[in-house]
Amino acid sequence: MRGHMNIRTLFFPTATLAVLVLFLPGFSPVFAQPEIPVVDAMPAEPQKIILTMTIERMSIVWEERGGWETFKETLGTILVAVCGFYVMNHYLLEHLMFNFPELLLVLLSVCLLFGNYTGYRVSELLRFRDLSVGKP
C-alpha cells in the first residue's frame, strides 16, 4: 500500500518476521545452555528484534526521504500497531496462537500468497482511471 491516499507505514519483511518468530522458541532449548555466555544476550522475545528493525527502517527513511516522511510513516505504523494490539488481545486469538504456535505457518503461507498477488493495486485503479473509460 504505497499510494498517496493510503496510510503510510514503515517497510517490514513480514514473511521473514514470521519465520523469525517461529525460529526463536524452536531453538530456545539450544540457546538455554547456562555454560554459553551469549545466551543472556540472545533476545528471547521477538519484539526486541522488531523494535530494532523499526529503528533501523526509520533511520533509513529519515536519511533518504527526510523527517516529514519519517513522521508520516511512523504515525501510520503506530496506528497499525495499535490496531494489532487490540487484535492480539482478543481472547480466542490469544488462546490459539499461544497453544498452537504452528499457526504461524498458516500466517506465513498467507504472506507468501499475498506476495504472489498479480491483480491491480488500489492506487492503480486511480492511476489508470483514464484508461478504464472509452472503448475496450
Partner 1 sequence: MLLTWRRLERKGVLGINARNHAYVMRYNPRHCYPLVDDKLKTKRLAIAAGIAVPELFGAVATPHDLSHLTDIIGHRHQFVIKPAHGSGGEGVLVIDGMRKDLYVKPDGRALTLDDISYHASNILSGIYSLGGLADMAMIEYKVCVDSILAPVSYRGVPDIRLLVFRGVPVMAMIRLPTRDSDGKANLHQGAVGVGIDLATGVTTEGVWRNRVVVEHPDFGVQLPGLQIPTWDKMLTLGARCFELTGLGYMGVDIVLDQTFGPLILEINARPGLAIQIANQQGLRRRLEMVEGFETVTDDAEARAQLSRELFG
Would you tell me which residues interact with partner 1 (CB under 8 A)?
A: 63-64, 116-121, 124-125, 127-134, 136
Q: Which residue has 487484535 as its cell numbers?
A: 87
94/124 with CB nearer partner 1: 124
C-alpha cell at 32: 538455554
Report the nearest approach of partner 1 to the CB of residue 36 (Å): 36
- CB neighbours (10 Å) of residue 103? 13
90/127 with CB nearer partner 1: 127
91/117 with CB nearer partner 1: 117
| 3-state secondary structure at position 2 | coil
Among 115, 112, 93, smallest CA distance to 103 is for 93
Report the nearest approach of partner 1 to the CB of residue 21 (Å): 26
CA 72, chain centre distance (Å): 17
Report the nearest approach of partner 1 to the CB of residue 113 (Å): 12
